[in-house]
Homo-oligomer: A and B are copies of this chain.
Amino acid sequence: MLRVESVEDTISIIIDNFSDYTIASELIELNHSSGRVVTSDIYSNYNIPDFDRSTVDGYSIVASDSFGTSDSIPAEFKVVGSVAMGDISHCVVESGKAVYTPTGASIPDGADGVVMIEYADELSNNVILVNKSISPGENIIKTGSDIKKGSLVVKQGTVLKSIHLGLLASIGVSRVEVRKKIKAGIIITGDEIISPECELKKGQIRNSNGYFLYGALIEMGVEPVNYGIIEDNYDSILTLVQAALENCDMVILTGGSSVGLQDHTSKVIDALGTPGVLVHGISVKPGKPTIIGKSKGKPVIGLPGHPAAVVTITNYFVRKIIDVMQSNTTIPQSIHACMGINYGSNNGRAEFLPVQLQVIDNQTIAYPITGRSFQLFNLAQSDGFIVIPSDCEGLAQGAEVTVYAI
């Protein structure tokens, strides 16, 4: 029989065992760093902006010169120069003088405000009439108002998104130190499993798990390595897992994870070296006969053969293992919703239930996909799944739930 762990205990075992896994880092081009995990805190060596900038097309002046002006009582300024984009003005602005300053250009010395071009009429060559009062600092972005020199810009463990790429470029970072991608070996066991391109004989099924896992691992920022389909034979599986474990940071097997005569995975994992099997059985539906093992400090995971269990266990537990290994500090985005109907659940086991989401009156409503819900086709129609705790007999219509992406 399986020694079944609860969902919570399984998460604790994952954290206890894989938090200290070491992944080497590499320096990569910023443009290719989206989705990668930053290895250390990144501070800014610069103020951003690192000069006072104009937010409008206009004239830099001494703001107090404009006080009290209006259409009927404009003030006269002598235009003594202009600032080119990307350059500085060599003029100093004194009382009664103005320097043309386009949006984004540097504010010349002496000026403390910019009057918009709309409020400055050209009287004659190099003389303007300003008809609006501006306050000191108006239309200026001050040095360091976006990012102060020395401040923390991106935290260790952040999964970089495009917005971080822009942010890092703005502080002069064009290459970034990230964790190498975790390599995960995929091994599909089962005498009945064939490749999708092969002719199907009765009793055989196609390898959907290998394709799902390949795609899911890429989506999680992991590099998948296919080790193919292997027969239900202890020695063959052991040899292949040993080779995969040598080359990869983790190994995922599907099939043979239960306790029957043809279920070799747990014995193989124990044979790889200590501590071997950590969890054999999780109190969850679907996916109960899941194995989490450890050898050479690396996770070796035995998933059930049932495709729906592979999908949910991968998205919930394998994702957790990967996040823990990478010290990923980015909180995964889940969606909060309300149950659209009453749903009764089996007491005693947590349940992963696929749902479709609908937005009604600005509320996100989750409708369970009922019937024979845990098949690939239904899962592919779902927007994600909810977890019903083991001590819960069901959820009432309107109950708040968290929806995890598939």
A residues touching B (Cβ–Cβ < 8 Å)? 30-31, 33-34, 46, 48-51, 57, 83-88, 102-106, 141, 145-147, 153-154, 160-174, 190-197, 200-216, 218-219, 226, 232, 258, 260, 262, 305, 307, 310-311, 333, 335-336, 359, 361-364, 372, 375-377, 379-380, 383, 400-402, 405-406
Contact = CB atoms under 8 A, between A and B. Distances in A.
A161 B215 contact: yes
Given A211-B168, A212-B162, A364 B377 contact: no
A87 B203 contact: yes
A295 B362 CA distance: 38
16 contacts: A87-B201, A88-B202, A103-B258, A104-B192, A146-B372, A153-B377, A160-B215, A161-B219, A162-B211, A162-B219, A167-B377, A170-B205, A171-B196, A172-B200, A336-B364, A361-B400
- Top 3 closest A-B pairs, CB basis? A166-B212, A162-B215, A86-B192
A322 to B, nearest CB: 14
Contacts of A311: 163, 166
B161 A211 contact: no
A167 B51 contact: no
Nearest to A399: B362
Contact of A363 (B106, B195, B260, B400): B400
A106 B226 CA distance: 27
B362 A400 contact: yes
Contacts of A400: 361-363
Contacts of A104: 190, 192, 205, 305
A196 B201 CA distance: 59
Contacts of A85: 190-192, 203, 232, 262
Contacts of A106: 202-203
Number of copies: 2
A377 B165 CA distance: 11
B336 A380 contact: no
A203 B260 contact: no
B215 A196 contact: no
A215 B406 contact: no
B195 A174 contact: yes
A209 to B, nearest CB: 7
A160 B215 CA distance: 9
B169 A202 contact: no
Contacts of A201: 86-87
**A147, A196, A359 interface centre (most CB from chain B within 10 Å):** A196
A372 to B, nearest CB: 6
Contact of A260 (B57, B88, B174, B208): B57
Contacts of A197: 172, 174
A117 B383 CA distance: 37
A372 B145 CA distance: 8
A307 B379 CA distance: 39
B260 A166 contact: no
A84 B203 CA distance: 9
Given A359-B336, A364-B336, A377-B167, A83 B203 contact: yes
A376 B307 contact: no
A272 to B, nearest CB: 24
Contact of A163 (B190, B204, B232, B376): B376
Given A191-B85, A335-B333, A211 B31 contact: yes
A191 B104 CA distance: 11
A191 B49 contact: no
Contacts of A195: 174
B211 A169 contact: yes
Given A169-B196, A376-B166, A31 B333 contact: no
B307 A212 contact: no
Contact of A380 (B164, B191, B211, B380): B164
